[in-house]
Amino acid sequence: MHKRQVVVVLIITLLLTGSQSFAQDEGIHDGAGTAGAAFLKIEPGSRPVGMGGAFTGLANDINTIFWNPAGLTAVHTRELTAMQHFSFVDINNQSIGYAQRVNRLVWGASFLGSFTEIERRIAPTETPDSTVTVGGFATGLSLAYPLATNFSVGGTAKFISQQLDIQNVYGFAADFGAIFHLLDNHLGLGVSVLNAGVLDGEESPPMAIRAGLAYRNFNIDRRREMEADSEEMGQPGELWAIVADAHLPLIDANPSFHLGAERWFYDIIAARIGYRIGLNDNPSDGLSIGIGVRKDGLDALANIDFQFDYAFVPDAHVGHAHRISFITRF
């Protein structure tokens, strides 16, 4: 094993060991439930979730618009993604993201929403008296720019709307991110500040800091082809990636640690696995798995790449969660 691979394995091992020791001492956060717009805690994208929610240091496709906006500099031309999240108790969430390169600058737009109907009863009756709509959405505009060949920064400005029956709350927030690549682009180090803003009244969005690293290996032949043709779309022939994130909520939750891996076979099919370790009980803690399929366009769609991703987060107590998403590059 190369020295640089040993370093990455040691860092991930220390992260995992440290998270387990902290988890024994932490309970429910004192500020639990005090942040507004809780839907912003949703982790968008089947690919990142399939790797345990570790994506801040990898950040190499359109999904990064929700995780680390600096990673948008990995977009070669245009990318579009959409996700449907089927969660417990019929709570469904959606996300859409788009990014486009203009010379060295990359701009993007995003939507993240969650709406559900909750039954309202005045007395303990079998039939509800009415239903209440609960949910919200956030729309964002993003910019990312490479300050150097191996260092990029980015940001997203968001408008937030939160609904509880007929009451609406509005606000604004921003995400900021940076990503640094080392070892001939094999190692990525990323950091992002998410949901820094304010809502109507005294509530604040669920502000958090994420830091992550990723080590990836490439299909050398595929990478050389892409370097020879700068207009070619898609990812640079990645064979596998190992990722790790630390997530630090600043208002209403304890830290969590995320580990994951991805392996591509024949540049067509991907297998993913991840593990989330929270410092208090959380339905999302534990194992996650995912798969992906990608294919170049054919005939009339020859200039379009397609990628379909699926992630599964099992939980026997509150119900399993499924995410289905697609990415297209054109």
Residue 275 sits in a domain of what CATH number? 2.40.160.60
C-alpha–C-alpha distance, residues 211 and 59, integer Å: 11
CB atoms within 10 A of CB 302: 8
Amino acid 141 reads L
Indicate if the pLDDT at residue 234 is higher than 50: no
Which range of residues forms the domain containing residue 195?
3-120+129-329
| Most confidently modeled range among 123-137, 165-179, 269-283 | 165-179
Task: Give the global pTM.
Answer: 0.85
Tell which residue, 52, 49, 4, 3, has the closest CA to residue 185.
Answer: 4
Q: How far is CA 235 from CA 74, 151, 296, in A?
A: 9, 18, 12
Indicate if the pLDDT at residue 289 is higher than 60: yes
Least confident segment among 45-54, 58-67, 237-246: 237-246
> How many domains does the chain fold into?
1
Q: So what's the pLDDT on residue 32?
A: 56
